[in-house]
Chains A and B, each alone.
Chain A
Amino acid sequence: MNIHASATLTPAEAALVDGFAQRVSELAGDAGVALNRDNAIEAIKNGLPTRRVEAWHYTDLRRLLNAVPSFDPAARPAALKPLLEGSAVLSVSNGVGGVIASVDGVEIERFQDLLLAGDARAALAPADSADAIAAINTALVSDGFALAVPAGADIATPIELQNLQAGGQVHARFPVTVGAGARVTVIERQAGTGDTLASSVTTLDVADGAEVLYVVVQEQGEGASHLGQMRITLGKDSKLTLFLMNIGAKLVRQDLVIAARGEGSDFNLRGVNLLGGDTHCDVTMVLDHLAPHTTSTEIIRNVITDRAHGVFQGQIRVARDAQKTDAKMACNTLLLSDDAEFSTKPELEIFADDVACGHGATVTEIDNDHLFYLMARGVDEKTGRAMLIKAFLAEIIEELESEELVAVLEAKLDDWFAKHA
């Protein structure tokens, strides 16, 4: 260990480094994977990113990640009932793949096996020095699931991936590939209780003409830290709808890195973030339009109350060749308390001259005119406010085609409102 560097480590950084030293012998992987892990932990020893690193401008990870619990072998929650009835459940509990349903036509492997075989090596390296989530995950990842949907398959059964915790720290990976022309719905749940540190990295490759609905629901314990990352590539004429819901954890950072590589690909992001208490939630997206005729829309809706701090950084980059790109990004926030805070940085970086790109951002309170309209019709103020907030979010949720999914997600909203009335 580098003694000079370790002298300046924060308690959280030191806990990560020590945790690695303790667990490294149990972590799966061949020699190549081990080298990746060593490099990643070295990167952590150089310090977690501070707000001086532009990608972490509003989330000073070095300051905010102030405690890292050590791995707790006893913290093994049981698999959850899936959100959608009839889903195939693949559950990781405390970093170990346990429940494994089989799905006709989908190849499923434990990520641990890929680590042992060294097959996962290439995907392990962090993108750059600011990529703290991949660094932490690479160093400490223990298991997860790899899904491969073959070309042309139309998978009717929704697949639910669960990353479950009950304290301690867990690090999981979910590589998903969807073959050409295939169709599938995947639900990823990051759930648990206790003050867990969870890192989770999903890679999603959508091949030409494939169509994917991917739903992420983050509902970790109130004191938990969630470090999530999705790295996505989109093939020609493929279509991905990514739905994101954050209703848990105290510190959340989600990196979404999307490369629209194939001509005519279509990417849609919908995000709903409900933040209360002392939550700090940062959703950071970098979307690269790399091919002509690619389209994307992003709508993020935040409801922020108590002392919570919400962050959305969205960067759309349009490469020189990506003519006729149509990209639209919107971020709307309801700020409901005087101690709440919201920061956003909707960035555009455009190198093609024939494109339509736009972004909009609004921050406001509930519109008094709207409230008045309801109250004039006999609705009391509290109910009226609740109706307006729900309508603000439901608008996004109701875009989803599956009525069952809409009902389940709206029920999650209601649970949250009940708790943060």
Chain B
Amino acid sequence: MAAVQETIDQVRLLDVDQYKYGFETEIETDLAPKGLDEDIIRFISAKKDEPEWMLEWRLGAFRRWLTLTEPNWARVDYPKIDFQDIHYYAAPKNQTGPRSLDEVDPELLRVYEKLGIPLREQEILAGVQKDVDSEEPSDNVYASGRVAVDAVFDSISVVTTFKEELAKSGVIFCSISEAVREHPELVKKYLGTVVPTTDNYYATLNSAVFTDGSFVYIPKGVRCPMELSTYFRINEKNTGQFERTLIIADEGSYVSYLEGCTAPQRDENQLHAAVVELIALDDAEIKYSTVQNWYPGDKQGKGGIYNFVTKRGDCRGKNSKISWTQVETGSAITWKYPSCILRGDGSQGEFYSIAVSNGHQQIDSGTKMIHLGKNTRSRIISKGISAGKSSNTYRGQVSIHRRAENARNFTNCDSLLIGNDCGAHTVPYIEAKNSTAKVEHEATTSKISEDQLFYVMQRGVPEEEAIALIVNGFVKDVIQELPMEFAVEAQKLIGISLEGSVG
């Protein structure tokens, strides 16, 4: 069955020429010279006022990177990147690091305002929750003003809100540059322990030249009192953004973290190579949500961001949990596999994804669930929708190691094609080495809906409506994994039904 009109219209709303965040901001910028060598790394490190060990760490990664070759196994196709033709550092002038709100350049604040992220702190009265219903329906999660935001503009974090509020609970939320200076013991202990500097081509490059990103530490037993968020904006031409995020949830803690990103509309491609590391200790839980909306390029496939990202969570402690939710609509090329290493006994990993590709976009995304500990559980729900001339690939791995007794995995990935010039692909790798493991993988729609369809239809609902009803209900399951206020961008996707989908 082909896609229904409603679905086609919804996907059209997300088409590449509808990109809303393509404006450019004229702002005086401090630029490192183009090119990449040890001097540039020293320059970045000096700009960030980093201790010697950090510089050594970067240089070690850089030397390693020089020995690596670009991976070519993904189903993406792009001209070779000239790594010497990129500025590895770009920061608004007179802005060397995050400051308090009133010190930030008003021009920058206006940029974020325009993006719908007012960087104001709304007072939260102690013990008094605002009545959500009485508020005007807010446009997005940030507008409510009750989310702590780390705003990263090109290579630096310009401001982090609610820091003091969070500090009261012992939560550390700051830019990674600040963490390197202020909390070196934590950074040293955890940085690179999930994604080592030797991990892969782009992660190694990132380790050498990362500029900014967020650092989160939730102390033992603390439930983070508000949503944490980082908003990444690429503005300057010919730059690459190399963000580095590190989140540590200590024993028994909980945090929900959101990530958003946009970039101006340009004819050139820009590189975004990020590394995100999550660490959950005993009984801790991290919920990581992304709405990825980098500039996808134009109708002809010109321009757009290359989003080559390494995201990995380590369920290091027993009964810990890491949950990835992503809504992917942007970027010219996406190469991204948020994964979970289920090391602690009884730990859980989840991956919920909706990936929509339009125009000439190419997405190769998925997840890895590596079951090492006993009684570990993982769940993968992935929905891919491709339209235009795009290509949308789910690539995933479920690996049950020898000692992962009673490990359990459920995977479901569906995709839908709209039009005849796009492609949808599913490449799951499933490896089981323990006989008590139970692994289920499915990629059929009929299996989900045949009985349900019959049930709904015999109550007089026409087939197409019945399918829409069931599938929307199912997609909602994924959307519901997003923090409630975060859903506006995602809501556009709720309308997309997946009837006629293929595995």
- A positions within 8 Å CB-CB of B: 54, 57, 318, 320, 328, 333, 335-338, 340-365
Q: Which residues of B contact A337 (CB under 8 A)?
A: 435
Closest Cβ of chain A: how far from B200's Cβ, in Å?
15
> Is the pair A363, B430 in contact by a Cβ cutoff of 8 Å?
yes
Closest Cβ of chain A: how far from B49's Cβ, in Å?
43
> Is the pair A356, B502 in contact by a Cβ cutoff of 8 Å?
yes
B303 sits at the interface (CB 8 A): no
Sample 27 A-B pairs with CB under 8 A, ordered by A number: A54-B73, A57-B429, A328-B444, A340-B433, A341-B432, A342-B432, A343-B429, A343-B432, A345-B428, A345-B430, A346-B426, A347-B425, A348-B425, A350-B415, A350-B417, A350-B424, A350-B502, A352-B420, A353-B3, A353-B418, A358-B446, A359-B426, A359-B441, A359-B444, A360-B442, A362-B438, A363-B432
Q: Which residues of A contact B443 (CB under 8 A)?
A: 346, 348, 358-360
Complex-state Cα separation, A341 to B400, whole angstroms:
10
Q: Which residues of B contact A362 (CB under 8 A)?
A: 438-441
Which of B418, B435, B441 meets A335, CB within 8 Å?
A: B435
Within B49-106, the residues touching A (CB, 8 Å) are 73
B130 sits at the interface (CB 8 A): no
> Is the pair B502, A351 in contact by a Cβ cutoff of 8 Å?
no
> Is the pair B417, A353 in contact by a Cβ cutoff of 8 Å?
yes
Q: Which residues of A contact B10 (CB under 8 A)?
A: none
Closest residue on chain A to residue B448 by CB atoms: A358
Interface centre among A318, A350, A356 (most CB of B within 10 A): A350
Q: Which residues of B contact A341 (CB under 8 A)?
A: 431-433
Complex-state Cα separation, A359 to B423, whole angstroms:
17
Closest residue on chain B to residue A315 by CB atoms: B427
> Is the pair A354, B2 in contact by a Cβ cutoff of 8 Å?
yes
> Is the pair B429, A357 in contact by a Cβ cutoff of 8 Å?
no
Closest residue on chain A to residue B425 by CB atoms: A349
Closest residue on chain B to residue A362 by CB atoms: B440
> Is the pair A360, B444 in contact by a Cβ cutoff of 8 Å?
yes
Complex-state Cα separation, A356 to B436, whole angstroms:
33
> Is the pair A363, B439 in contact by a Cβ cutoff of 8 Å?
yes
B437 sits at the interface (CB 8 A): yes
Closest residue on chain B to residue A312 by CB atoms: B430
> Is the pair A364, B441 in contact by a Cβ cutoff of 8 Å?
no
Closest residue on chain B to residue A321 by CB atoms: B420
Interface of A is mostly: strand
Q: How large is the interface on B (under 10, 10 to 19, 20 to 34, 35 or more residues)?
A: 35 or more
> Is the pair B435, A365 in contact by a Cβ cutoff of 8 Å?
yes
Closest residue on chain B to residue A313 by CB atoms: B429
Given contacts A348-B426, A358-B447, 18 further A-B contacts (CB under 8 A): A328-B444, A335-B435, A340-B433, A346-B441, A347-B427, A348-B503, A351-B422, A353-B3, A353-B420, A354-B2, A357-B444, A358-B445, A358-B446, A359-B441, A359-B442, A359-B443, A360-B440, A364-B438
Complex-state Cα separation, A328 to B423, whole angstroms:
18
Interface centre among A57, A328, A358 (most CB of B within 10 A): A358
> Is the pair B439, A361 in contact by a Cβ cutoff of 8 Å?
yes
Q: Which residues of B contact A328 (CB under 8 A)?
A: 444
Complex-state Cα separation, A274 to B417, whole angstroms:
38
Given the interface pairs A345-B429, A347-B426, A352-B417, the reply to whether A361 lies near B438 with Cβ below 8 Å is no
Interface string of B1-12 (1 = CB under 8 A from A): 111000000000
Closest Cβ of chain A: how far from B405's Cβ, in Å?
9
> Is the pair A340, B435 in contact by a Cβ cutoff of 8 Å?
yes
Complex-state Cα separation, A5 to B318, whole angstroms:
51
Q: Which residues of A contact B500 (CB under 8 A)?
A: 353-354, 356
Closest Cβ of chain B: how far from A93's Cβ, in Å?
39
Q: Which residues of A contact B503 (CB under 8 A)?
A: 348, 357-359
B434 sits at the interface (CB 8 A): yes
> Is the pair A350, B425 in contact by a Cβ cutoff of 8 Å?
yes
Within B458-503, the residues touching A (CB, 8 Å) are 500, 502-503
> Is the pair B415, A358 in contact by a Cβ cutoff of 8 Å?
no
Which of A54, A340, A343 meets B431, CB within 8 Å?
A: A343
Complex-state Cα separation, A357 to B414, whole angstroms:
10
Q: Which residues of B contact A357 (CB under 8 A)?
A: 444, 502-503
Complex-state Cα separation, A103 to B402, whole angstroms:
52
> Is the pair A350, B423 in contact by a Cβ cutoff of 8 Å?
yes
Enumerate the 7 nearest inter-chain pairs by beta-carbon distance, A residue then B residue, closest first: A358-B444, A353-B417, A361-B441, A363-B439, A363-B432, A348-B426, A335-B435
Closest residue on chain B to residue A347 by CB atoms: B427
> Is the pair B445, A344 in contact by a Cβ cutoff of 8 Å?
no
Q: Which residues of B contact A320 (CB under 8 A)?
A: 420
Q: Which residues of B contact A336 (CB under 8 A)?
A: 435
B419 sits at the interface (CB 8 A): yes
> Is the pair B2, A353 in contact by a Cβ cutoff of 8 Å?
yes
Complex-state Cα separation, A359 to B442, whole angstroms:
6
Complex-state Cα separation, A365 to B436, whole angstroms:
6
Which of A57, A335, A356 meets B432, CB within 8 Å?
A: A335
Given the interface pairs A358-B503, A362-B440, the reply to whether A353 lies near B419 with Cβ below 8 Å is yes
Given the interface pairs A354-B500, A355-B502, the reply to whether A338 lies near B441 with Cβ below 8 Å is no
Closest Cβ of chain A: how far from B380's Cβ, in Å?
13
> Is the pair B502, A333 in contact by a Cβ cutoff of 8 Å?
no
Closest residue on chain A to residue B73 by CB atoms: A54
Closest Cβ of chain A: how far from B289's Cβ, in Å?
27
> Is the pair A335, B3 in contact by a Cβ cutoff of 8 Å?
no
Closest residue on chain A to residue B427 by CB atoms: A347
Given the interface pairs A357-B503, A358-B502, the reply to whether A363 lies near B437 with Cβ below 8 Å is yes
Complex-state Cα separation, A350 to B385, whole angstroms:
12
Complex-state Cα separation, A364 to B406, whole angstroms:
10
Given the interface pairs A335-B435, A360-B441, the reply to whether A345 lies near B427 with Cβ below 8 Å is yes
Closest Cβ of chain B: how far from A364's Cβ, in Å?
5
